[in-house]
Structure 1
Amino acid sequence: MRSSFLLGAALPFTHGIRIIQSNDDGWAEVQARTFFSSLSATGHQVVLSAPAENQSGTGSSDATPTQVDADGCQYQSCPGGSPATGTNSSDTRLNYVNSYPVTSIKTGIDTTGPNLWNGAEAELAVTGPNVGSNVGPQAPFSGTIGAAVYAAHTAGIPAIAFSGRTGDPTAWNQPVPLQSQVYADLALNVTSTIIKSGTPYLPSDVFLNVNFGEVTSSKCTKASDFKFIATRINTGLFSAPDADYCGSTRLPWEADVIYLRSACYATISVGDANDKTTADAARQKVVLDKLKPILSCL
């Protein structure tokens, strides 16, 4: 497979931080590749380790990788009968794992990343941007979130899951859709803000669930049109108070903001990697303080 997204491919691994990336839509999906290019162009040492095929909705499933079947990887990105794990011949930072998203990011964290980083470990994990939202009741079933939760909870690596409401599955070698570039720019903004805030990037056992609203040809056409809103993963009707944000101790529900409001919004929920629900107020506050430069009120 030959990638058309090689911005930064020639850069030596001497700048930025080490980032492992995965998704559940597949390693050849244009949305993940566009974000990979944005991160790489900024100087980060990014390694993509994602499923050989679309594995949407597989949650936290994990299984030993197997040989690719006769149909090959998605979008004919590897031939039938290829090994259980493989690498792009023109850019070894792009890797597939013929299994679930959790297995893919685990392989990247344990093996692929360290092999390219001279034995060093990932400093941050990012997943997506997913093709389609992952809000509220969708969270437990999302492979994009499942991979981020594995990184945060099991591997102890701060993790951010990104998802975008607009778009359809698209191969890496097609023209980059408008929403894919907008979502990559938004994801880079969040990632850069967290990195700039300093280590530890996130509290222990915390992941961020970030969702981007709808992009159309006439609305929300660039990243600067969006406002970032702090939200909750679950509604929290009977939960303890949230961190104080915009004069309230009850954060809005991410599903309400993404689906029921017409403005250009992106939601950021502080998730508990133990159970994929909303983290407690103390950990919310730590994260919201880090994100303060980009957060807005509804």
Structure 2
Amino acid sequence: MRTFLLLGAAALPFAQGIRVVQSNDDGWSEGNLRTFFDVLNSAGHEVVLSGPAENQSGTGSSDAPPTTVDSDGCIHASCPGGSPPTGANVTDPRLNYVNSFPVTSIKFGIDVVAPKLWNGAKPELALTGPNVGGNVAIQVPFSGTVGAAVYAVKTAQIPAIAFSGKTGDPTAWNASTTLHSRVYADLALNVTTTIINSGKPYLPANTFLNVNFPAVSDTECNNLSEFKYIFTRINIGLLSARDADWCGSTRLPWETDVVNRDGCFVTISPGDANDKTTVNDAAVQQQIITKLKPILSCL
């Protein structure tokens, strides 16, 4: 399955390698995150992963100094109890844990790990997730995966994309790679490559992308050619100004409606880093549509 999926992903030319910082809220050793790390590296990118030592789902934009790991150790037995507040994989300094929140974790990756490995250079793009479980509507402001992306955009001024996937349970880094992790990593690479190929600035200032992947299974939504990428809104926007003129309408579909449809739909929503709602500026929406046009479809 992995070979087939990568062949599908290769239909979109790989972007020139750039410097990427990764994080999530499910823990630094979670299978979705590690599979995406491997795929990004295979695509030629320089990647630093800095994620929480424990599952920190639902912690939003919380931030606190990291503390010594408790006696239970890191999630999935990925570090022993009593480990220092921050640490790296023994054989790969690109893989880092931070015993605190997702925001604290990505901050550590940006401010400490990346400059050390890249001779003082900062990341060019921040990618969080794929989260275990979707992040739509009311879930968005509480998501640590989204919180880490928003920190990158608003505070570190690094463009960011938050990825979330509907299928799966938390899986250890050293377990067999699951089908959903493989599919989500390849879909995330496709979105990432499209943004990189569009040129800098990768996204408008103070804007992030909230991307949600549908359920996958052995019988459906497991081949890249099945998926359609739909440009959507985080919140429904009944009283908002008109959206960009796209797909014959000036009101973008609500991502929750699209996620709940039958079919293999990937939703991509422009998020405002100030409040984690939809970017309501039609001109900014249009800039992002132009960047994503190579992969976008209409419902």
TM-score, with structure 2 as normaliser: 0.94
Unaligned runs of 5+ in 2: 1-15
**Is 1:265 the equivalent of 2:260?**
no
How much has 1:282 moved relative to structure 2? 1.4
Whichever residue aligns with residue 293 of structure 2, its letter is K
Partners of 2:32 and 2:85 in 1: CA distance: 23
Partners of 1:258 and 1:109 in 2: CA distance: 32
Give a deviation string over 1:219-253, Cα, whole Å, max 9, x none.
10122211000000000011011111101010001
Counterpart for residue 156 of structure 2: 155
Matched ranges for 1:46-195 at <5 A: 46-195=47-196
Whichever residue aligns with residue 120 of structure 1, its letter is A
Q: Is residue 183–residue 223 contact of structure 1 (8 Å, CA) maintained in 2?
A: no
Instruction: Please give the secondary structure, in 1, of the residue aligned with 2:130.
Output: strand
Partners of 1:75 and 1:214 in 2: CA distance: 24
Counterpart for residue 295 of structure 2: 294
Give a deviation string over 1:168-201, Cα, whole Å, max 9, x none.
0100101111011000000000000000000000
Instruction: Please give the secondary structure, in 2, of the residue aligned with 1:34.
Output: helix
Counterpart for residue 3 of structure 1: none
Partners of 1:265 and 1:184 in 2: CA distance: 15
Partners of 1:297 and 1:172 in 2: CA distance: 36
Instruction: Please give the secondary structure, in 2, of the residue aligned with 1:193.
Output: helix
Instruction: Please give the secondary structure, in 2, of the residue aligned with 1:294.
Output: coil
Matched pairs, number: 283
Partners of 1:136 and 1:23 in 2: CA distance: 19
Q: Is residue 159–residue 207 contact of structure 1 (8 Å, CA) maintained in 2?
A: yes
Give a deviation string over 1:69-104, Cα, whole Å, max 9, x none.
010000100000000000001111000000000000
CA RMSD in angstroms, aligned pairs only: 0.7
Instruction: Please give the secondary structure, in 1, of the residue aligned with 2:93.
Output: strand
Instruction: Please give the secondary structure, in 1, of the residue aligned with 2:167.
Output: coil
Give a deviation string over 1:98-136, Cα, whole Å, max 9, x none.
000000001111111111111101100000000000011
**Is 1:214 the equivalent of 2:221?**
no
Counterpart for residue 45 of structure 2: 44
How much has 1:47 moved relative to structure 2? 0.3
Instruction: Please give the secondary structure, in 2, of the residue aligned with 1:188.
Output: helix
Partners of 1:244 and 1:210 in 2: CA distance: 20
Partners of 2:129 and 2:43 in 1: CA distance: 17
How much has 1:281 moved relative to structure 2? 1.2
Partners of 1:285 and 1:274 in 2: CA distance: 19
Counterpart for residue 205 of structure 1: 206
Q: Is residue 164–residue 183 contact of structure 1 (8 Å, CA) maintained in 2?
A: yes
Partners of 2:169 and 2:272 in 1: CA distance: 29
Partners of 1:125 and 1:206 in 2: CA distance: 12
Counterpart for residue 226 of structure 1: 227
